[in-house]
A and B are shown apart, each in its own frame.
Chain A
Amino acid sequence: MTQVLAVLGPGTTDAPVIDTATALAEIAHARVRQVSLTADLSAERAAARVLDALHSPGSLLAVLARDERPRPIWRRVAQRSARPVVLVPAAARGRRPEIRRVLLPLDGTAESAAAVAGTVEQLASAGVDLVVLHVFDAETVPRFWDQAAHAGRAWAEEFLARYCAQPGVRLEIRTGVAGEHILDVAAAERADMIALGWSQQLDPGRARTVRRAVLDAAVPVMLVPTASEGRDVGPYRQAGPP
């Protein structure tokens, strides 16, 4: 049977991680497998243990606490994992354990859409309400917007047809800095989780949107690696979408 990993460790508040893992396992018709990390492990060895488990056959994704102490390992795991990683903030404690609505920021590229396509399909088939968010900036704002009442609808239909063609999906459009709007819209929509495709690169100046979403979100954030053909991600090769 497939499994969703719940990574527990010293200094971790277990309940939010377990709740999130349980909710995702229910969606995926999987079981929850707990991976416990002891205090004596270095961050590198702890990450390696998680990655070993995550890349074993049948593992779909791993759920980790974002704010674990004393040594957060989520960066090491997320950057090297070929499978989705869900980061749970301590603030998620006390929220409802189900995942009923997911916010999907999409930047309008085929890569980001492809990264989350499998996740989207699985969430949609489980009846999860999906809200896509696209944020215009100076590079991506449309050239023409004839009549707002009609252009918005036409643009949304085409965007969803290209990047998230699931029945019942809604599109929210904003303009500005993606990271800021992701948090605002997640709150306004009462999303239970945010799912983002990402390139797994956290070099300075990169992945600003991911950093902002991960560090400041009050709900779990799923990071889904984009395609990794030709790129060395260590011993953990892309195993395909869960």
Chain B
Amino acid sequence: MLRAAQDLGFDQLLAGHRAAWAGRWEAVDVRIPDDPAAQLALRFALFQLWCNTRSGGELAVGARGLSGTGYAGHVFWDADVFVPPAVVSIGPAAAAAMIRYRARRLGAARAQARAAGRRGARFPWESAASGEDVTPAGVRLGGRVVPVLTGQLEEHVTADVAWAAARYAEWTGRPDRLARPLLAETARYWASRCRLDDARGAHIDGVIGPDEYHERVDDNAYTNVMARWNLRAAAGAADRAGLADAESRCWRDLADRIVDGYDPATGRYEQFAGYYSPEPLLVADFAAPPVAADLLLGRERVAGSQVIKQPDVLMLHHLVPGEVAAGSLAPNLDYYGPRTAHGSSLSPAVTASLLARAGRPDEALAMLRTALALDIADLSGMTAAGLHLANLGGAWQAVLAGFAGLRVRAGVLSVDPRLPGAWGSLQLRFRCLGRRVRLDITRERVEIAAGGPLLAGLAGAAAQARGWPGQF
């Protein structure tokens, strides 16, 4: 490779480099004329996502990518639900490589399930080369060694892996060849993991959800609903492949039995069984978020309170809105928002997306600014250890899924914009359903153009974009 580069010479290499980057920015970009600071920060996010991913083979994207040694290069659920949904819209081949990383470690995941006395595949909380769990067992904190339980108990990552594969297939419109085995094996895991009560309700006991302030909880809403989605998605994939059988029918039946903590009277999901009992503490009672509440108040105090680290229930509205009750986003935002410390770098971007979806775009923009500043302004004091790739992916997603309201369902791209007051327009270029797509949103109209036939719609209305440009 070095010899080839030497033969080409610097001038030709530079020309090729410039052409490649020009091609990237031609296909993917963001323009916010009224907010050049946000535009620049979002382009920084896109630039870093490109720099830390590549297509071909398999791709393990650690929490800090290639930008630093922080987090030992370990792969978390960041590489399933935060980075791939962004990367699939800017470089689908790189997203496919990320899915292949997980698919090629199904063997290790099966072994981990067997070791836990379960069937199917259980993916590790922290993953590296082998696919085995590499989560540290403990950490020295405040002068004592504290056990780290995420490796044992934060099991939702198994469903997250399946979700990423399914999301890739949905967004690209490609057959779910990668997704099907991941969906099936993870569904088998959940089927063996659930406990049935006397009334044949299905429960998942003793886990940690995305909110890591509360450990060893039962019926964490996020874990349960993602497991339910997983079972249903696997059954659906089996149907589409003509492989429906007794097992896949059991998956559907079990999915219908999984408890989710939903209360129709309030529209709220109880984050875990007994969540409403602890100290009803709001974050504003002790600090201005974002704040690492576990450091400030102590692990025991936050565990005994209703303060949560990051969106937990609300992640369901972000990832699987079809699995949660219609109209439940607002009551859960109203309830869990003031209880969320945002002590995780994963939190601000997702919250921005959800606030935009809930029709609160100005609050969403404030949260997006926090996400965009996280590395640029080194809000964590740890950017020297590497960029927070999940946050960068989440910020791009906040614009696509949050402010532009992009969704792909059954091969149709829908647009449902929510622009903040400070933005008169938003222009996006991205990849979707095998096409290059251009979206121009103003307060008066939405213009969509695609580099080929594309089914697209505005807020449920169907239309078709052909060639460049199309206009609604």
Contacts and interface: CB of A to CB of B under 8 A. Distances in A.
A150 B72 contact: yes
Interface stretch (A23-31, A34-42, A141-149, A229-237): A141-149
A110 B296 CA distance: 23
B379 interface: yes
Contacts of A185: 143
Nearest to A143: B290
B295 A146 contact: no
Nearest to B378: A158
Contacts of A144: 290, 292, 342-345, 374, 379-380, 382
A84 B442 CA distance: 65
A157 B379 contact: no
B141 A173 contact: yes
A151 interface: yes
Interface string B49-83: 00000000000000100000011101010000000
Contact of B385 (A149, A157, A174): A157
Contacts of A159: 381
Interface residues of A, number: 27
Contact of A145 (B135, B150, B287, B295): B295
B218 to A, nearest CB: 23
A143 B135 contact: no
A184 B295 CA distance: 18
Given A149-B139, A173-B141, A141 B384 contact: no
A152 B140 CA distance: 8
Task: Tell which of A143, A150, A152, A188 has the most Cβ of chain B within 10 Å.
Answer: A143
A149 B327 CA distance: 38
A172 B298 contact: no
B140 A175 contact: no
A150 B346 CA distance: 15
Interface in B118-142: 135-136, 138-142
B294 interface: yes
A101 to B, nearest CB: 15
B381 A175 contact: no
B148 interface: yes
B448 to A, nearest CB: 36
Contact of A149 (B136, B142, B296, B379): B136
B143 A141 contact: no
Nearest to B286: A138
Contacts of B139: 148-149, 152
B382 A151 contact: yes
Nearest to A189: B143
Given A138-B296, A158-B385, A146 B136 contact: no
A134 B265 CA distance: 48
A138 B344 contact: no
A161 B384 CA distance: 10
A175 B143 CA distance: 11
Interface string B188-217: 000000000000000000000000000000
Contacts, number: 93
A188 B142 CA distance: 12
Does more than half of chain B's interface fall in helix, strand or loop, or is it mixed? loop
Contacts of A143: 290-292, 342-343, 379-380
| Max chain A C-beta neighbours (<10 A), residue from B70, B286, B298 | B70
A150 B76 CA distance: 12
A155 B71 contact: no
B146 interface: yes
B127 to A, nearest CB: 13
A136 B380 contact: no
In this complex, the member of B146, B148, B150, B380 whose beta carbon has the largest number of chain A beta carbons within 10 angstroms is: B380
Contact of A141 (B141, B142, B295): B295
A131 B172 CA distance: 54
A201 to B, nearest CB: 28
B295 A175 contact: yes
A63 to B, nearest CB: 29
Nearest to A184: B143
A161 B69 CA distance: 15
Contacts of A174: 142-143
Interface string A127-139: 0000000001010
B142 A155 contact: no
Contacts of B380: 142-144
A147 B150 contact: yes
Contacts of A150: 63, 70-72, 74, 136
Given A142-B380, A158-B384, A175-B296, A147 B71 contact: yes
A154 interface: yes
Nearest to B64: A154
A138 B384 contact: no
A28 B146 CA distance: 39
A148 B148 contact: yes
A154 B292 contact: no
Interface string A148-189: 111110110111010000000000111100000000110010
B343 A138 contact: no
B141 A148 contact: yes
Contacts of B143: 172, 174, 184-185, 188
B379 A175 contact: no
A170 to B, nearest CB: 10
Interface string B288-311: 001110111010000000000000
Interface in B339-361: 342-346
Nearest to B391: A144
Nearest to A150: B71
Interface of B: 63, 70-72, 74, 76, 135-136, 138-143, 146, 148, 150, 286-287, 290-292, 294-296, 298, 342-346, 374, 379-382, 384-385, 388
Given A148-B148, A149-B136, 10 more contacts: A141-B296, A144-B344, A146-B71, A146-B388, A147-B63, A150-B63, A150-B136, A157-B385, A159-B381, A161-B384
9 closest residue pairs by CB, A with B: A145-B292, A154-B385, A149-B136, A143-B290, A149-B139, A144-B380, A150-B71, A154-B70, A154-B382
30 contacts: A136-B295, A138-B296, A141-B295, A142-B381, A142-B382, A143-B342, A144-B374, A145-B295, A146-B63, A146-B71, A146-B344, A146-B346, A146-B388, A148-B141, A149-B138, A150-B71, A151-B382, A152-B139, A152-B141, A154-B71, A155-B381, A155-B382, A157-B385, A158-B381, A158-B384, A172-B143, A173-B141, A174-B142, A175-B296, A184-B143
